[in-house]
Amino acid sequence: MPSMKNDSSSLGQRGQKKPAGSANKSSSRVTEERAKAQRAKLDAQNEARQAEEERETTARQTLSKKAGRQEIQAKRRELETLIEAYIQDHIGGNHSEKTIEWHRIALGLMRDFFEKELDITQIDDVEADDISAWFAHMRVTPGTRGKVRSERTIQTYARSARAFFHWLIRRGTLEENPFDRVVFPKVGRPLIQTITDEEFEKLLMACTPPNETSHLAERAAVRNRAILWLLYDTGIRVSELTNLRVDDVDRKKGVITVLGKGSKERRIALGQNCLRNLSYYLDKHRPDEEELAEWGSAGEDHLFLSETRQPLTKNGMEMLFKRLRERAGITGKRISPHILRHTFAINYLIKSNDPFSLQALLGHEDLTTVQNYMHMNDTVLQEQKRKYSPGDHIPTRMPGPRETRRKGFQPKGQQKKK
């Protein structure tokens, strides 16, 4: 039966097993797919881990940068850093060494007090009460010389601190100024001493050393008189005098050019007496080039020279005025170049009544100091008031007694009885 034969053969063929190679290939494909899936999973995990690490690294860097910025910002707001920046600002502004040194001392004292006594290092922590406490501290603690500071010294330091806080406001470091709520130290106006015409004459006479007639003694006397006349007639500072050069004197026009604070130049006319004494010193007694070369000072152009043919110094000026004061026999008052500056200022103000030109001659930036001269010598001012009293210069005849009673005045009736 052919049909049954075919069926059995087909059944036999269907019942036969697949070859081993085919099964292995199928199994290999499954394993490979699983491996790929595993690798994809691992890659995804690695990518996620790397992304997380990158995020953490970025976050750490951000925090580090933020902390760094905060640290820099905090550093910039430290008192020490700000004070140094303030000093550098003054140096950049070409302010005088004295002004810079004044701010260093005053602000250094303030910073030391805040840090050591109040544990304050940041400018934002300073309050008005802290500044007042610093003022009180200075009143009871001795200074570098072991003496308690005067009220004027404390006020001077307070002025430096006030200027510092105003500077912080101008540059935007602070929005509010604690100094605005501080009671500023007050002191009375000083009656600064001056010298009289008679005392100035004594100083001129004292320029000649006693019992000395040598050429060097005469040279010193002529130089010293020229110095006295220049200080008395112009009111320049001692530092300005010691810095004068020969070319700063214009004898033809009778003017000197002075280099003042902040390297600011100003011209001051000389009176006849001053110019005559200064010219005599230059023509007859200042060492010439040959003499300067012999002493190793070739080309030295300072106006006033010491006995060693070197420029006269501030210390040399102090010693000179000490000798002149002793020779002149002036006691009970200090004699110094600055006293002559005050004398010039008051005399000029009395005679000219022009504080604006005096301000220019003295080299002051504002009128504050010039106005103080009006209160320095009350006796002179009152005498000027009596001399120019408006009530005594009325042109018309006024009713009442026309004569001023003098000492020993007696009514007419009593005079007739005698």
Concerning whether 261 is annotated as a catalytic residue, the answer is: yes
Q: 237, 286, 309, 325: which one is catalytic?
A: 237
**Euclidean distance between CA atoms 168 and 123, whole angstroms:** 9
Residue 113 identity = F
Q: 137, 162, 285, 364: which one is catalytic?
A: 364
CA angle, 149 then 155 then 157, to 5°: 80
SS3 258: strand
Concerning whether 90 is annotated as a catalytic residue, the answer is: no
Concerning whether 351 is annotated as a catalytic residue, the answer is: no
Residue 415 identity = Q
**In this structure, what token pair is assigned to residue 140?**
């009871």
Concerning whether 171 is annotated as a catalytic residue, the answer is: no
Residue 244 has a CB neighbour count (10 Å cut-off) of 21
Residue 52 identity = E
End-to-end alpha-carbon separation of the chain, Å?
200
Q: Shortest CA distance to 248 belongs to which of 266, 274, 227, 223? A: 266
Q: Phi first, then psi: what are they for 13, rounded to 5°?
A: -70, -40
**Euclidean distance between CA atoms 364 and 173, whole angstroms:** 30
Q: What is the total residue count of the chain?
A: 418
Concerning whether 202 is annotated as a catalytic residue, the answer is: no
**Euclidean distance between CA atoms 166 and 103, whole angstroms:** 14
- Which residues, including other chains, have CB under 8 Å from residue 196's CB and lie 6 or more apart? none
Concerning whether 393 is annotated as a catalytic residue, the answer is: no
Q: 223, 225, 341, 342: which one is catalytic?
A: 341
Q: 261, 285, 323, 327: which one is catalytic?
A: 261
**Euclidean distance between CA atoms 203 and 328, whole angstroms:** 6
Catalytic residues: 237, 261, 338, 341, 364, 373
